[in-house]
Amino acid sequence: MAAAAAVSSAKRSLRAELKQRLRALSAEERLRQSHLLTQKVIAHSRYQNSKRISIFLSMPDEIDTEEIIKDIFQQGKTCFIPRYQFQSNHMDMVKLESPEEISLLPKTSWNIHQPGEEDVREEALSTGGLDLVFMPGLGFDKDGNRLGRGKGYYDTYLKRCLQHQGVKPYTLALAFKEQICLQVPVDKHDVKVDEVLYEDSLAF
C-alpha cells in the first residue's frame, strides 16, 4: 500500500504544478499552440482514416478543440462528445449533431457544455464503437503516460470500449508543450495513450 500512497501523493503535487504552469500561459500562446495542433491533427493519418471520433469540448486550460470539431463535420465523420456523470466515474460518448449545437447545450458545474441527462442521444458504443478518441489531461510524458484530473472517466471508458468492440480505439492526446513532463507517476488503473501530440512532437 505504501507504493500506492506514494504514487497518489506524487500525482497530487504534479497536478498542482501543472495547473500553475497552465495558469501562466497567455491567451495568445494558448491560441497559437491550439492552432498548430489543429493543423497536426488534420494532417494525421489516424485522423484522416477514422470515421467515428470522440473529442472533448475544451476547458480554458486545454488545447482548444473547436476547429477540429468543425473539421470532423466538414469531412463527414461522426462526432461524439463526453457526457460525464458527476456522482460517479461513468461517462458516455454521445453524438453531436453539428458544431453550432455546442453553444446551445447546458453547462455543467465544470462550466463545460454537455447534453443533459434527459437528452436522449446515440451513444458511440451502442452503434458501432469508436475509431479514435481525443484525450484531455493535465500532464503527459513521452511514453504516453497520462495524468488526468483524478476521476478516472477516460480510463474506465476505454476499458468499456475494449469490452464492446474488442479493440481499443486509437487514443490521441492533445497537449500544450508545457504539459509534457519527464515522467508521469502511474498506477495499474491508468491507461496509456497511443500518442501525445504537442508542438514539438514528431509525426508517426
154 belongs to an annotated ligand binding site: yes
47 belongs to an annotated ligand binding site: no
C-alpha distance from residue 32 to each of 21, 25, 29, 62, 182 (Å): 16, 11, 5, 12, 23
147 belongs to an annotated ligand binding site: yes
C-alpha cell at 21: 504552469
148 belongs to an annotated ligand binding site: yes
15 belongs to an annotated ligand binding site: yes
149 belongs to an annotated ligand binding site: yes
Distance between CA atoms of 151 and 178, rounded to whole angstroms? 22
152 belongs to an annotated ligand binding site: yes
178 belongs to an annotated ligand binding site: no
Helix or strand run (H / E) with residue 84: strand 78-84
13 belongs to an annotated ligand binding site: yes
Residue with cell 449545437: 101
52 belongs to an annotated ligand binding site: no
57 belongs to an annotated ligand binding site: yes
* H-state helical runs in the chain: 2-23, 27-43, 45-48, 66-74, 153-165
Binding-site residue numbers for ATP are: 11-15, 146-154
Binding-site residue numbers for substrate are: 57, 62
Binding-site residue numbers are: 11-15, 57, 62, 146-154
